[in-house]
Amino acid sequence: MARRRFGATATCCVLLSIATLPAAKGQPLQRISTCFEESIAALRLSQLDQLTELCDKVINDASATREMRGQALAQRGHAFFRRWAVLETAHDATRGISDITESLRLHTPGPERKLQLLLIRAQLYAATGQLRRAADDYRLVLSEDPNNDTARLGLRRIGAPETN
């Protein structure tokens, strides 16, 4: 499997408190039972795979509402971001961007979740060399939350001004 390093951009991941924690010795891994796990920051890769499979079922369920599919896409996009934070593969970054973009088209998340998704997508855009789009997302976050240090730092990291 080809693996691509994205350099300093990966540092941005730390800003969202991203960490991969190994299971304690002798402790069984918790089985993921729903696409809508509240916190996925500490999930291992195998658990992220379980999560994406569960989200796939919701996304592909013809009886799921537009809102439900949008939420599942957001969660799956977040899971791909977490995978990218560990593996740094372009495929995970691209899938995360696609899922989050479609999610934001299908549903309107709460204000905090929306900002989180925009920051994640901005980091993934930057990781894939799409710096204009990354800057646009960081600026959108700042337009809704002018004191957002993560967005401000993200703009500095990619060498973009805070305003167009």
Predicted pLDDT at 10: 36
CA–CA distance, 41 with 152 (Å, rounded to integer): 22
Residue 118 · residue 141 · CB < 8 Å: yes
| pLDDT (tens digit per residue) in 65-107 | 999 999 999 999 999 999 999 999 999 999 999 999 999 999 9
> What is the pLDDT, as a whole number, of residue 8?
38
Sort 126 into a burial class: Cβ within 10 Å, 0-12 / 13-18 / 19+: buried
Convert the pLDDT of each residue in 38-71 to its tens digit. 888 888 999 999 999 999 999 999 999 999 999 9
pLDDT at 37: 84
- Mean pLDDT value across residues 113-138: 97
What pLDDT shows up at residue 29?
58
- In angstroms, rounded to a whole number, what is the distance separating the alpha carbons of residues 51 and 40? 9
